[in-house]
Structure 1
Amino acid sequence: MGALEGKTAIVTGSSRGIGAEVAKLLAADGAAVVVNYRQKAPRANKVVAGIEEAGGRAVAVGADLTSPEGAKALVDAARENFGGLDILVLNASGGMETGLGEDYAMRLNRDAQLNMLEAAVEAMPAGSRVVFVTSHQAHFIHSVPTMPEYEPVALSKRAGEDALRAKLPQLEAKGISLVVVSGDMIEGTVTATLLDRARPGAIEARRAEAGKLYSVEEFAAEVARMVTADVPSGHTEYAGGAESFLKQSRP
Structure 2
Amino acid sequence: MSENGNKVAIVTGASRGIGAAIAERLAADGFTVVINYAGSVGPAEALAARIEKAGGRAITAQADVSDPAAVARMFDAAKAAFGRIDVLVNNAGIMQLSPIAEAGDELFDRQVAINLKGVFNGLREAARRLRSGGRIISFSSSVVGLLQPGYAVYAATKAGVEAMTHVLSKELRGRNITVNAVAPGPTATELFLQNPQEVIDRLTKLTPLERLGQPQDIAATVAFLAGPDGGWINGQVLRANGGII
In the TM superposition, residue 180 of structure 1 has moved relative to its aligned partner by 1.7
Partner residue of 2:140 out of 134, 137, 141: 134
Amino acid of the structure 2 residue aligned with 1:59: I
Distance (Å, rounded) in 1 between the aligned partners of 2:128 and 2:160? 23
2:199 alignment counterpart: 202
Aligned to 1:218: 217
2:147 is aligned, of 145, 148, 160, to 145
3-state DSSP of counterpart to 1:132:
strand
Say whether residues 1:164 and 2:143 are aligned partners.
no
Query: Which amino acid in 2 is paired with 1:104?
Result: R
Report the Cα offset of residue 37 of structure 1: 0.3
Q: Which SS does the other structure have where 1:75 is aligned?
A: helix
* SS in structure 1 at match of 2:173: helix
CA contact (8 A) 1:110 1:161 kept: no
> What letter is aligned with 1:201?
E
Partners of 1:150 and 1:2 in 2: CA distance: 41
Equivalents in 2 of 1:238, 1:231: separation in Å?
A: 17
- Tell me the CA shift for residue 3 of structure 1: 2.5
Give unmatched runs, 5+ long, in structure 2: 98-103
C-alpha contact (below 8 Å) 1:132/1:180 kept by paired residues: yes
In the alignment, is the contact (CA less than 8 A) between 2:52 and 2:58 conserved in 1? yes
Alpha-carbon shift at residue 87 of structure 1 (Å): 0.5
Q: Secondary structure at the match of 1:239?
A: coil
Judged with a 3 Å threshold, the aligned counterparts in structure 2 of structure 1 residues 193 and 149 are, in CA distance, closer, same or farther, namely farther
What is the Cα-based RMSD across aligned positions, in Å?
Answer: 2.1
Match in the other structure for 2:115: 109
Separation (CA, whole Å) in 2 of partners of 1:68 and 1:100: 20
> Which stretch has the larger CA shift, 231-240 or 80-89?
231-240
Contact 1:95 1:104 in 2 (8 A): no
Q: Distance in 1 between matches of 2:179 and 2:45?
A: 29
The alpha-carbon distance between structure 1 residues 234 and 166, as it changes in their structure 2 partners (threshold 3 A), is: same
Instruction: Please tell me the residue identity of whatever aligns with 2:118.
Output: A
The answer on whether the counterparts of 1:95 and 1:108 sit within 8 Å (CA) in structure 2 is: no
**Percent of aligned positions with the same letter in both sequences?**
30
| Structure 1 unpaired stretches of 5+ | 246-251
Structure 1 residue aligned with 2:91: 91
Find the residue that maps to 2:140 and give its secondary structure: strand
| 3-state SS of 2:9 partner | strand
CA distance, structure 2, for counterparts of residue 177 and residue 67 of structure 1: 24
- AA aligned to 2:41 is A
Displacement of 1:160: 1.9
CA contact (8 A) 1:136 1:184 kept: yes
The letter of the residue matching 1:164 is T
Cα displacement (A) at 1:189: 4.3
Mapped to 2, the partners of 1:100 and 1:52 lie a distance apart of 39
For 1:1-251, list aligned pairs within 5 A. 1-96=1-96, 101-138=107-144, 140=145, 144-146=146-148, 148-190=149-191, 192-193=192-193, 196=195, 201-210=198-207, 211-228=210-227, 229-242=230-243, 244-245=244-245
- Residue deviations 1:103-127 (CA, integer Å, cap 9, x gap): 1111111111011111122221111
Q: Which amino acid aligns with 1:2?
A: S
Q: Please, what TM-score do these two structures have when normalized by structure 2?
A: 0.88
Using structure 1 for the length normalisation, give the TM-score.
Answer: 0.86
Contact 1:34 1:77 survives alignment (8 Å)? no
Residue 193 of structure 1 and its aligned partner are, at CA, apart by 4.5
Letter of the structure 2 residue corresponding to residue 83 of structure 1: G
